[in-house]
Amino acid sequence: MISVNDLRTGLTIEIDGEIYSVIDFLHVKPGKGAAFVRTKLKNIRTGSTQEKTFRAGEKVARAHIETRQMQYLYNTGDEFYLMDTETFDQIALQRSDLGDAPKYLLENMTIGIQFYENQPIGVDLPTTVNLKVVETEPGFRGDTAQGATKPAVLETGHTVHVPLFIEEGEVLKVDTRSGEYLSRAN
């Protein structure tokens, strides 16, 4: 158990059987009445956020999340097979367990899988990934209008909007948080 007075950003806690990560917190001491702690929490399983207020000194259960480095091996439809890089144990996760991660996964890529009580609950992707363009319309000379973009299909099947000068076969740097094109990969 941990006191809500000791909450910090990034800490994981358990409330009513759900696991939350603390996004923001504020200790409030009004001139009249008891102090309280106002928090913004993100549900680890669903990704939804909520605001919750606790009385000062109230206790909550701390959730110990373990992140294991795992290598993505292959998928068969909606099942994705990963191997623990330390123990070489293999697990199969459903597409729904991975959230948006399949848009960015390439074979042999190492990612972090979050476990709570030996159950996978989340995915830690690198901030950016390099993916090859497999399909896009050709850019035409003179198409230099500010901010003009076109859709490009990447090797994972994910579609991003790219500048007109990007061609098939180029490798792009893509932000995994927003799913947007950042730049050409070096």
pTM equals 0.69
Smallest CA-to-CA distance from 156 within 80, 92, 70 is with: 80
Q: Domains in the chain, please, with CATH?
A: 2-62 (2.30.30.30), 66-124 (2.40.50.140), 128-184 (2.40.50.140)
Tens-digit pLDDT profile for residues 67-99? 899 999 998 888 999 999 999 999 998 888 887
Q: First vs last Cα of the chain: how many Å apart? A: 47
Structure token digits, residue 62 = 């701390």
Whole-number pLDDT of residue 145: 58
Q: What is the DSSP letter of 146?
A: T
Helix (H) or strand (E) holding 55, with range, is strand 49-55
Q: 92 pairs with which residues across the strands?
A: 81
Considering only 55-64, 78-87, 132-141, 142-151, which range has the smallest mean pLDDT? 142-151
* Sheet-wide strand order for 79-84: 90-94, 79-84, 66-76, 110-116, 119-124
Distance between CA 33 and CA 90 in Å, rounded?
54
